[in-house]
Structure 1
Amino acid sequence: MKTSALLVAATVASASAFAPAPQAQSSTALNESFFKTIADMDLFAPKKDQNNYGARGKKGVQTGALSSRSYVPAGLTKAQYEKIRADEDKKKAANYDRNVKKAGVFTDYTAFYTKRGTDEGGAWMKKPNRGHDMAKTKYDWSGETNQAPAYTGVGAIFGKK
């Protein structure tokens, strides 16, 4: 009797071990709100325009001041070296400002092509004062593999040297 009761208990235990456990419906509301919060984060909220082109002028980036322990090239005084560094900073700022003014100003290639009066016969090439308007294209179409562009002008296309 003890043996049969033990056998029945072992059978029930092994059968229940392989039966799926009842699961309650788990809510993912916490996870959804957590991930939505992360996905909707605006990492640039304090300064929305900090990555815009031309924002370097607002960031206060400047060349450090020379101290008594700073490097000064041989043959120069500290004042002379400071003046050279200040002049370089002015040149760099002027160049950056000049490029910022040009930012986002592009010539549409189709408009450029139409404006110059291009046609299939090439009559536009015989017009006087064609000027030197250039429109950039996205790729270097020269076919060269080196980094320096080898294309030097329209004449190369038409066999003129």
Structure 2
Amino acid sequence: MKVLALLSLLGVVAAFAPAQQGRAVTAQNALFDDIFGMDLFAPKKDQNDYGARNKKKLVQGKIGAGSYVPAGLTAAEYQKIRDAEDKKKKANYDRNVKKAGVFEDYTEFYMKRGTDSSQKWKKSATLGHRMAKTKYDFDSVAKDGKKYDGARK
């Protein structure tokens, strides 16, 4: 009986004792270190930056003997159209790259507008606001008799 009481007392004490720290599995830790430490863009770190398209050698193929040419055009005419489209696309991309990362300071905008000290800005039709186009005409009725929200006259 004394042995049984001693064993149960040891069991209770062991249950509340702090767990012993075992040695971590180093192979598993090394694997996680390798995975989480990977840099997927290591060879070219700036390849996904905005404007990086200009550094890449992206070219459109030229029209050859077996290439598609729309009916009614010669290969030279079609190539001229494709070159014009490429030039337009590049100009648009370059225009957007110049705007990247350029932000307007709200305080400067507010001070320039003049709303901080006087009401001079109120003379215009827009009351100093910048207007944006909307999809619907909110003041008139469409040809089918519906307003922009679908309601009838």
Aligned structure 1 segments of 4 or more residues deviating by more than 3 angstroms: 119-123, 132-135, 147-151
Shift of 1:124: 2.6
Q: CA deviation at 1:71?
A: 1.1
In the alignment, structure 1 residue 106 sits paired with structure 2 residue 103: yes
Shift of 1:121: 6.7
CA contact (8 A) 2:114 2:121 kept: yes
Q: Secondary structure at the match of 1:50?
A: coil
Q: How far off its partner does 1:32 sit?
A: 1.4
What is the TM-score with the length of structure 1 in the denominator? 0.59
Matching residue of 1:49: 46
Alignment match, 2:16: none
Q: Could you tell me which residue of structure 2 aligns to residue 97 of structure 1? A: 94
Q: Closer, same or farther in 2 for the Cα pair 1:149/1:121, shift >3 Å?
A: farther
Once the two structures are aligned, what percentage of the paired residues are identical? 55
Higher-RCO chain (CA-CA 8 Å, sequence separation at least 6): 1
| Alpha-carbon distance in structure 2 between the residues aligned to 1:59 and 1:119 | 48
Structure 2: which 5+ residue stretches go unaligned?
1-21, 139-153
**Cα distance in structure 1, aligned partners of 2:137 and 2:30:** 56
Structure 1 gap ranges (5+): 1-24, 141-146, 152-161
Q: Distance in 1 between matches of 2:121 and 2:88?
A: 41
The correspondence of residues 5-24 of structure 1 with structure 2, limited to 5 A, is none
The amino acid across from 2:111 in the alignment is: T
For the residue of structure 1 that corresponds to 2:54, the secondary structure is helix
Judged with a 3 Å threshold, the aligned counterparts in structure 2 of structure 1 residues 148 and 101 are, in CA distance, closer, same or farther, namely same
Corresponding residue for 2:84? 87
Distance 2:136 2:58 in 1: 34
d(CA) in 2 for partners of 1:42, 1:150: 51
Q: Give the structure 2 partner of residue 155 of structure 1.
A: none
Equivalents in 2 of 1:75, 1:36: separation in Å?
61
Which region of structure 1 is more displaced relative to structure 2, 66-75 or 36-45? Answer: 66-75
State the Cα distance separating 1:113 from its structure 2 match: 1.6
Aligned counterpart, 1:72 = 69
Task: Give the root-mean-square deviation of aligned CA atoms.
Answer: 3.3
| Residue type at the aligned position of 1:39 | F
Which amino acid letter does the alignment assign opposite residue 49 of structure 1? D
